[in-house]
Structure 1
Amino acid sequence: MFGALKKNKEIPVYAPMNGVATALSDVPDEAFAEKMLGDGAAVLPDGGEVLSPVDGVVADVTDTKHAFCITTDDGTDLLLHIGVNTVNLKGEGFSVFVSDGDHVKAGDKIAQVDLELLKKHGLPLETPVLLTEPEKTEVVKTNSGTMHAGKDVLFTYKKI
């Protein structure tokens, strides 16, 4: 009985950047828009500070510093991908403040990105936050409007 109650609990994922919440379908990349990599939401950022959207362990920071895999404290795998096609910058414009294996809390600063550099290169700024195991999780509610990094809930999910 108690396991069922815990399983249905909604778990928050906070906005990783200040900006406007965006549906994945609005991200200008087919893999994100069609949820091929997982379900979640995105932020169209208006500032370059990147905060952890969850409590968990940094499982991977890409060599190009544009994406983070975090395993939440409840065992859920999450992908935070800053911008679209930003892998092409090969790390230029990104500063990372965490390493693989670091434990982070929601709201901890994990990176800084030069949004003007992304714009200069014509790269979309939409920043998806995805649950990468759809067989184990379900997005319950996505929020809209202005997001304050580390303070506003971008979406909630539950374990299934």
Structure 2
Amino acid sequence: MFRFKKNKSCVLYSPVKGKSILLENIPDKVFADKLIGDGIGFSFDDNVIYSPCDGEIIMIANSKHAIGMKTENGVEILLHVGLETVNLDGQGIEVLINIHDKVKAHDPIMKLDRQFMDMHHVDLTTPLIITDLKGYHLVISHPQKVDISDVVIQINSK
């Protein structure tokens, strides 16, 4: 039968209320050198992380610090909350979704215990990464103050 090419264009919204940061300015070489993909980072003071798009949850790290998603158009993204948060072994992080859940942009997906994070001096710089760049062109917004209604990345098919 006929196979139609899916439109791979989509947008990602800020997952937090705060400030966006260029990926190369994140103090972690894995993200700054774009070893796992391209994207944008965030600093924030709130305790809720929101879904950056409509899609499906495809991965939740055992330590709860990272969530993998697939957009409705098939683009795979990684939301990595904080730097070195893997060492917390899930403490101070409440995941509000499950693997295979369908989510909408702006749905709350994670809650942080800010008091715990502050007490342990956790750097909550949060990268949002497109992990499979093959066939895509990204338009990434300039660093600015952001809210969850702000588009921070436009992903277009090449």
Match for 1:159: what amino acid? S
Distance apart, 1:119 and its partner CA: 3.2
For residues 72 and 135 of structure 1, the distance between their equivalents in structure 2, rounded to whole angstroms, comes to: 15
Structure 2, unpaired ranges of 5+: none
Q: Do the aligned residues in 2 keep the contact of 1:32 with 1:128 (CA within 8 Å)?
A: yes
RMSD: 1.6
Distance apart, 1:15 and its partner CA: 0.5
Q: Which residue of 2 aligns with 1:144?
A: 143
For residues 73 and 18 of structure 1, the distance between their equivalents in structure 2, rounded to whole angstroms, comes to: 24
Give SS of 1:22's match: strand
For residues 131 and 77 of structure 2, the distance between their equivalents in structure 1, rounded to whole angstroms, comes to: 6
For residues 81 and 116 of structure 1, the distance between their equivalents in structure 2, rounded to whole angstroms, comes to: 19
Structure 1, unpaired ranges of 5+: none
Q: Do the aligned residues in 2 keep the contact of 1:144 with 1:154 (CA within 8 Å)?
A: no
For residues 46 and 154 of structure 1, the distance between their equivalents in structure 2, rounded to whole angstroms, comes to: 18
TM normalised by structure 2 equals 0.91
Match for 1:158: what amino acid? N
Distance apart, 1:114 and its partner CA: 2.2
- 1:64-114 Cα deviation digits (max 9, x unpaired): 111000000000000000010100000000011100000001000101012
Q: How many residue pairs were aligned?
A: 154
Aligned identity (percent) is 32
Q: Which residue of 1 aligns with 2:16?
A: 17
Within-5 A mapping of 1:102-121: 102-121=101-120
Distance apart, 1:58 and its partner CA: 0.1
Distance apart, 1:120 and its partner CA: 2.7
